[in-house]
């Protein structure tokens, strides 16, 4: 080989890596734009259905009627697309194991993700969005396959970007795709979707060390956040939870916040109890997606008639709660938090599929505010303790829970959140309550259970 040919050969991988980094930035920007469009459409429909229409009708039991009708629409959608959208950790595991996500699931996942959000489901948008973005990024990576195997990482980078765009929490978005994946996925074993269209090769052929993947995820997250900020600036809109600016630790307030942390830990434990119970009820009802979705809608709507904050993901409701919590009683705030952690698994188990992040954060803040009224403690400190305990109890991962909560709490609150999350994780879960991630099939392969498809997407 001549010297010129040698130089050209050495430049080719470098050029491919440069193209790859630019592609990661572009895919992050596209992910941010898609998330913004999804949330914009969702918020527009919610405004029409839940603000303008009720003002014209002035009917007390409006939530019951709308949520029940929404259950019918959601049940029909689930009848055609059972199990979609898949929960976040299932999607991340498939991307890790198969090198991508089935592109055929993109359209039905988007439909099944947005319907429960529009009709007031107590679920978050992250589950549907992560699956849709992973599928789109897998398709993009397949088209760029001629540039090298490096482009397999586009799907993983796209999921990190979508998480960052949804939550506005870059550290969590970078850590989540690297955290919490099952051992079989991490070892690169093929799953049932390994040969699905656009799924790529198994992760055992992974070309990048973890630090390189972290850099790629960070670039994708930067692209997503930048585009989201640009579009929000142009339209004057906004997304994500509001931020608490300051926290007070003086005058014995740390000790006064302990009851909020204990109550939050109990709520996190109750989430798993509710999940186990609703899965059992769903299994007992059987393959009747329309009936189950209507039942969930009726229960959700009835609760919403008396405690409106038990409905919806909690993103925009958090803004309202921060402004009006002093006008509510401690009992109403505590009831809202505890009922919400039960409604979320009910929604997921009965076909109103989505994520858990926003609802459980909202529940923790509501519980914290309740104890701020009862104990006269700094409301931000109580909210941080309550939210840290609830999210930690659900996720069972204190550090990841704290990283997630940075999206709405200042860094100075991290010791409180970390201790509260750790306290919640010390409460043991009965073995029967732990989500069953996999089951053996007659062929000997391992695949997710139907229950796991709707189970805790942020617990291990």
What tens digit of pLDDT does each residue of 235-271 get? Answer: 776 656 788 988 887 767 788 789 999 999 999 999 9
SS3 label, residue 178: helix
- Which DSSP string corresponds to 249-272? -TTTHHHHTHHHHHHHHHHHHHHH
What tens digit of pLDDT does each residue of 365-381 get? Answer: 999 999 999 988 899 99
Res 418 pLDDT > 70: yes
Q: Can you give the pLDDT at residue 147? A: 52
Query: What are 414's two structure tokens?
Result: 């991290």
CB 105 within 8 A of CB 199: no
Q: Can you give the pLDDT at residue 130? A: 83
Q: Please give the C-alpha separations between residue 132 and each of 86, 91, 162, in angstroms, as whole numbers.
A: 10, 10, 9
- Which DSSP string corresponds to 285-332? H-S-HHHHHHHHHHHHHHHHHH-GGGSS-SHHHHHHHHHHGGGS-HHH
State the chain's mean pLDDT as an integer.
80
Q: Can you give the pLDDT at residue 26? A: 85
Q: Can you give the pLDDT at residue 220? A: 83
DSSP structure class, residue 440: E
**For the chain, counts of helices (H) and of strands (E):** 20, 2
pTM: 0.81
Res 77 pLDDT > 90: yes
Rounded to the nearest 5 percent, the helix, strand and coil shares of the chain are 75, 0, 25
Q: Can you give the pLDDT at residue 16? A: 63
Q: Can you give the pLDDT at residue 325? A: 95
Q: Can you give the pLDDT at residue 229? A: 84
CB 366 within 8 A of CB 337: yes
Q: Can you give the pLDDT at residue 242? A: 82
pLDDT confidence tier of residue 414, bands split at 50, 70 and 90: very high
pLDDT: which is higher, 347 or 87: 347
Q: Nearest to residue 414, comparing CAs of 423, 425, 427, 404?
A: 404
Q: Please give the C-alpha separations between residue 197 and each of 85, 98, 136, 145, 150, in angstroms, as whole numbers.
A: 17, 11, 12, 14, 18
Res 188 pLDDT > 50: no
**Among 41-45, 51-55, 139-143, the range of highest mean pLDDT:** 41-45
Cite the residue boundaries of each domain of the chain with CATH code 1.10.3080.10.
253-453
* Residue 109 to residue 131: CA distance in whole angstroms: 7
Res 185 pLDDT > 80: no
- Measured in whole angstroms, the distance separating CA 347 from the mean position of its chain's CA atoms is 14
* Residue 216 to residue 22: CA distance in whole angstroms: 10
What tens digit of pLDDT does each residue of 432-456 get? Answer: 886 554 333 333 333 443 334 333 4
> What phi and psi, each to the nearest 5 degrees, are found at residue 79?
-65, -35
Q: Can you give the pLDDT at residue 92? A: 79
Q: Find the mean pLDDT for residues 279-297.
A: 96
Q: How much of the chain exceeds pLDDT 90, in percent?
A: 42
Beta bridge mates, 440 = 446
* Residue 334 to residue 137: CA distance in whole angstroms: 41
Rounded to the nearest 5 degrees, what angle is found at the Cα of 170, between the Cα atoms of 168 and 174? 135
Q: Is 48 exposed, middle or buried (0-12, 13-18, 19+ CB in 10 A)?
A: exposed
Task: Name the CA radius of gyration of the chain, rounded.
Answer: 22
Q: How much of the chain exceeds pLDDT 70, in percent?
A: 76
Q: Can you give the pLDDT at residue 174? A: 62
Q: Find the mean pLDDT for residues 293-321.
A: 94
CATH of domain 253-453: 1.10.3080.10
């Amino acid at each position: 080989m001549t010297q010129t040919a040698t130089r050209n050969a050495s430049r080719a991988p470098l050029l491919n890596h440069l193209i790859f980094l630019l592609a990661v930035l572009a895919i992050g920007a596209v992910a941010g734009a898609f998330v913004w469009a999804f949330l914009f459409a969702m918020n527009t429909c919610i405004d029409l259905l839940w603000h303008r229409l009720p003002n014209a009708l002035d009917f007390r039991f409006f939530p019951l009627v709308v949520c029940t009708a929404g259950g019918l629409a959601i049940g029909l959608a689930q009848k055609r697309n059972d199990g979609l959208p898949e929960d976040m950790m299932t999607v991340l595991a498939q991307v890790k194991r198969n090198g991508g996500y089935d592109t055929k699931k993109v359209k039905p996942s988007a439909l099944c993700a947005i319907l429960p959000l529009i009709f007031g489901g107590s679920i978050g948008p992250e589950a549907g969005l992560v699956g849709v973005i992973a599928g789109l990024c897998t398709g993009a990576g397949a088209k760029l396959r001629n540039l090298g195997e490096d482009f397999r990482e586009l799907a993983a980078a796209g999921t990190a970007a979508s998480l960052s765009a949804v939550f506005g929490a870059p550290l969590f978005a970078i850590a989540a795709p690297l955290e919490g994946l099952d051992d079989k996925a991490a070892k690169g074993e093929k799953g049932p979707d390994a040969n699905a269209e656009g799924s790529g090769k198994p992760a055992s052929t992974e070309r990048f060390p973890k630090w390189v993947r972290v850099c790629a995820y960070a670039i994708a997250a930067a692209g997503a956040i930048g585009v989201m900020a640009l579009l929000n600036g142009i339209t004057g809109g906004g997304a994500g939870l509001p931020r608490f600016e300051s926290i007070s630790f003086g005058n014995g307030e740390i000790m006064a916040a302990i009851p909020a942390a204990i109550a939050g830990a109990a709520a996190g434990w109750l989430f798993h109890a509710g999940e186990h119970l609703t899965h059992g009820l769903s299994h007992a009802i059987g393959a009747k997606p329309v009936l189950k979705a209507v039942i969930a809608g009726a229960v959700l709507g009835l609760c919403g008639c008396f405690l409106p904050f038990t409905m919806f993901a909690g993103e925009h409701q958090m803004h309202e709660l921060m402004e009006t919590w002093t006008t509510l009683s401690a009992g109403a705030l505590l009831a809202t938090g505890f009922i919400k952690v039960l409604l979320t698994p009910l929604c997921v188990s009965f076909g109103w599929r989505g994520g858990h992040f926003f609802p459980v954060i909202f529940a923790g803040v509501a519980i914290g505010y309740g104890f701020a009224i009862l104990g006269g403690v700094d409301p931000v400190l109580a909210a941080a303790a309550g939210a840290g305990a609830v999210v930690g109890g659900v996720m069972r991962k204190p550090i990841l829970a704290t990283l997630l909560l940075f999206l709405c709490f200042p860094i100075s609150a991290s010791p409180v959140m970390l201790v509260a999350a750790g306290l919640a994780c010390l409460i043991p879960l009965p073995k029967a309550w732990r989500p069953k991630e996999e089951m053996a099939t007659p062929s000997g392969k391992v695949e997710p259970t139907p229950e796991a498809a709707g189970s805790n997407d942020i617990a291990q």
